[in-house]
Amino acid sequence: MKKEKTTAAQKGKLKKALAQIADVLGSEHVSMESTDLINYTRCLYSRSQLLMRKCETYPPPDMVAWPENTEQVSAVLKIANALNIPVTPYGAGSGVCGGAIPLTGGITLDLKRLNKIKSIDEKSLLVTVQAGMIGEVFERELNSAGYSLGHFPSSIYTSSVGGWLAARSAGQLSTKYGKIEDMAVAIQAVLPDGSIITTKTTPRSSSGPDLKQMIIGSEGTLAVITEAVLKIHRLPEKRIFQGWKFKSVPDALKAIRLVMRTDVLPAVVRLYDEIDTALTMTALGYEASGSLLIIAFEGATGMTELEASVVERICIDEGGESLGPEAGEHWWKHRYDISYNQSKILANDGMLLDTIEVATVWSNLFNLYESMRKALEPFGTVLAHFSHVYREGGSIYYTIIANDDEKKVVKHYDEMWKAAMDACIAADGAISHHHGIGILKAPWMKDELGALFDVYKKIKNNLDPNNILNPGKLGL
Ligand SMILES: Cc1cc2nc3c(=O)[nH]c(=O)nc-3n(C[C@H](O)[C@H](O)[C@H](O)COP(=O)(O)OP(=O)(O)OC[C@H]3O[C@@H](n4cnc5c(N)ncnc54)[C@H](O)[C@@H]3O)c2cc1C
């Protein structure tokens, strides 16, 4: 899907929209200035950064609007729907799949002014927060009230609550606290025609299907999320770290699987394969070899000590060599350093770097790991870790670093992704565990969803007959 040349009629529509949006938001909160528009041609999608190196970009939007509440989001969508202008929701632009890139121009709806905690219900342990709030600021404000969300994506400094919900984000402590969709008790969102929906704040409900979960993960194709009610936790009394060295990935995976069977819920479980152990831990300033497993527990003192002792027994029985707490403590201190260093690599001509996160059940996990590793190896250095585990399986997170002639690097990138996704589908893995689909993985959506892809399309066509909301994403 490509942006076409703006005709005189479209220019007229845009002028009309600009005036109407300025009336509602104030003229300082809507812009058609090229210096504003150029910022929205990219997100942290590696391909958009490779293009930037060649001074090329994806299409800019025609207009950026900065609403400050749900009603203003609704007003903008009503205007856009009436004039048939595409709208792309934009959280903080840390998405790595191109979801926030306005492929067909139109209005980019930047939600950064919806940036407040509205209330904390201390009895029910719930927070109501606006969707544009940046993760780190949100967590800091919760901490000062004695609480934590328990959601720590590596992009916490540069991602928003709405972006997390839109892409089903996972944080580093997901084994204990769940992914963002597990934390969402209710949402408020605006549909493409501007109508506002608010789901009921209730611990559970059996009143029909869970439509909140249909909007969560829809990456701005079905609705714009403006608020959420999320579960919070009291700050932990104690945190315990364990580091284990295993001879091989299968040995360590077995130990983790047995831990997850006990119903003990460590906060962090991170297993690095041999290459990731050597490269990542060295980059973080900690020398390690073999397959490094970091496990952390947090919560009430007695409970964490008990959990740690159960896990210790299993790791010893499965051949793990204890490294004490240092590896985990070191990782905890430097856990946000690595991701932000990736852009330094991408700044160099010929260099390519990306991450791929997939998931499957325990009975298929090693097979998926090997299949994708073999498919990716011809394209560069492949490292992998397993950092989100469940009783029934887990995710695999590959990092690929490569270089090529600068002229060929985008082709190299596209071929690498095709090999990876084809291998994932062939091995029956889920093509995304927490980064979402965007434009990057859209070609594989039909294979991923099967007959459900048509169901998704029907829902989209009904909710958004003019196809104004984030067109061209998720294969729609
Ligand atoms: C260095 C780095 C580390 C990362 N680490 C993690 C990690 O640990 N875990 C993880 O899950 N992800 C991670 N990511 C990916 C990214 O941060 C997540 O996908 C995040 O959820 C995106 O949030 P955002 O606010 O930046 O969204 P954006 O990039 O702005 O948008 C992402 C998608 O959501 C849509 N969207 C945004 N806000 C809304 C809204 N309010 N309503 C409807 N649709 C909306 C956009 O249209 C787009 O399709 C990482 C990315 C980077 C660059």
Q: Do the bridges between strand 147-148 and strand 233-234 make them parallel or antiparallel, or are there none, so unpaired?
A: antiparallel
The CA 227 to ligand 1 mean position distance, Å, reads 16
Query: Tens-of-pLDDT digits for all 476 residues of the chain?
Result: 567 788 999 999 999 999 999 999 999 999 999 999 999 999 999 999 999 999 999 999 999 999 999 999 999 999 999 999 999 999 999 999 999 999 999 999 999 999 999 999 999 999 999 999 999 999 999 999 999 999 999 999 999 999 999 999 999 999 999 999 999 999 999 999 999 999 999 999 999 999 999 999 999 999 999 999 999 999 999 999 999 999 999 999 999 999 999 989 999 999 999 999 998 877 777 888 899 999 999 999 999 999 999 999 999 999 999 999 999 999 999 999 877 778 889 989 999 999 999 999 999 999 999 999 999 999 999 999 999 999 999 999 999 999 999 999 999 999 999 999 999 999 999 999 999 999 999 999 999 999 999 999 999 999 999 999 999 999 99
The CA 245 to ligand 1 mean position distance, Å, reads 33
Closest Cα to atom 19 of ligand 1:
95
The CA 94 to ligand 1 mean position distance, Å, reads 5
What tokens does 404 get?
């090529």
Closest Cα to atom 41 of ligand 1:
162
Q: Which of 77, 94, 212 to mutate to test the pocket of ligand 1 (most atoms within 8 A of CB)?
A: 94
Cα distance between residue 174 and residue 459, in whole Å: 30
Give the count of beta carbons closer than 10 Å to the beta carbon of residue 276.
23
Strands of the 351-361 sheet, one edge to the other: 321-324, 238-246, 291-299, 268-272, 381-386, 393-403, 351-361
Q: Give the per-residue pLDDT at 339.
A: 75
Instruction: Give pTM, 2 decimals.
Output: 0.97
Q: Give the per-residue pLDDT at 1.
A: 54
Work out which ligand 1 atom sits closest to the CA atom of 156.
Answer: 17
The CA 202 to ligand 1 mean position distance, Å, reads 26
Q: Give the per-residue pLDDT at 337.
A: 85
Q: Give the per-residue pLDDT at 289.
A: 86
Q: Which of 70, 76, 96, 215 to mutate to test the pocket of ligand 1 (most atoms within 8 A of CB)?
A: 96
Q: Give the per-residue pLDDT at 155.
A: 96
Closest Cα to atom 3 of ligand 1:
155
The CA 328 to ligand 1 mean position distance, Å, reads 26
Closest Cα to atom 16 of ligand 1:
95
Residues contacting ligand 1 via CB (< 6 Å): 43-44, 88-96, 99-100, 111, 131, 153-155, 159-160, 162-164, 166-167, 169-170, 219-220, 224-225, 339, 434-436, 438, 470, 473
The H or E element containing residue 456 is: helix 452-463
The CA 314 to ligand 1 mean position distance, Å, reads 36
Beta bridge partners of 87: 107, 469
The CA 21 to ligand 1 mean position distance, Å, reads 26
Closest Cα to atom 5 of ligand 1:
154
Measured CA to CA in angstroms, residue 76 lies from 19, 38, 192, 422, 423 at distances of: 11, 21, 10, 39, 42
The CA 159 to ligand 1 mean position distance, Å, reads 6
Work out which ligand 1 atom sits closest to the CA atom of 165.
Answer: 21
The CA 220 to ligand 1 mean position distance, Å, reads 11
The answer to whether 142 and 93 are in contact (CB under 8 A) is no
Cα distance between residue 229 and residue 144, in whole Å: 19
Measured CA to CA in angstroms, residue 441 lies from 113, 151, 270, 417, 418 at distances of: 30, 25, 25, 8, 9
Q: Which amino acid does the sequence have at 123?
A: K
